[in-house]
């Protein structure tokens, strides 16, 4: 089963998709934020187009383990996704996904010029790969 992961941001939404076996995550695309309803409709549509059976939305937390403001926005986005699709939608801890995506690209030897810009799709890959590994280990 393919899984679609979402790195929900205020300006952009990064998307990643697993392979059909649910083993490897790869970047899919980045969409620009318009409104919660329109964004959710786009993500739901992409999930269907790519035969995803599950949508995982990254959610960030504060030091006390409670959703921070960005995490609460991601939770509301997940709720809107649930209203717009019959696919299951899960929240997943995305703490440090953007930082980890940047570090991974540095370790892979991606040039500074090619690393410039947005990390949203790669952050979604980090979220999805973390989710896939947790399933594999449980």
27-42 pLDDT tens trace: 999 999 999 999 999 9
CA distance 126 to 105: 11
CA distance 38 to 94: 23
Name the burial class of residue 127, with classes exposed (0-12), middle (13-18) and buried (19+) by CB atoms within 10 angstroms of its CB.
Answer: buried
pLDDT at res. 103: 52
Full-model pTM: 0.85
pLDDT at res. 122: 86
Tell me how far CA of residue 107 lies from CA of 30, 49, 66, 101, 127, in angstroms: 22, 32, 31, 10, 18
Mean pLDDT of the residues in the chain: 87
What does the block give as tokens for 129?
Answer: 């790969």
Q: What is the pLDDT of residues 58-86, one digit of tens each?
A: 999 988 999 999 999 999 999 999 999 99
Domains of the chain, each with CATH number or no CATH: 2-137 (3.30.420.140)
The alpha carbon dihedral of 105, 107, 110, 112 has a sign of positive
Bridge partners (DSSP) listed for residue 9: none
């Amino acid at each position: 089963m393919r899984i679609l992961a979402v790195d929900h941001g205020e300006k952009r939404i990064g998307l990643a998709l697993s392979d059909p076996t649910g083993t490897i995550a790869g970047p899919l695309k980045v969409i620009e934020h318009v409104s919660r309803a329109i964004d959710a409709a786009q993500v739901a549509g992409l999930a269907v187009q790519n035969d995803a059976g599950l949508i995982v939305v990254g959610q960030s937390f504060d030091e006390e383990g409670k959703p921070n403001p960005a995490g609460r926005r991601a939770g509301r986005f997940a709720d809107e996704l649930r209203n717009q699709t019959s696919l299951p939608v899960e929240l997943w801890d995305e703490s440090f996904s953007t930082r980890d995506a940047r570090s991974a690209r540095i370790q892979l030897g991606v040039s500074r010029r090619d690393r410039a810009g947005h990390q949203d799709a790669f952050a979604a890959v980090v979220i999805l790969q973390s989710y896939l590994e947790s399933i594999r280990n449980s």
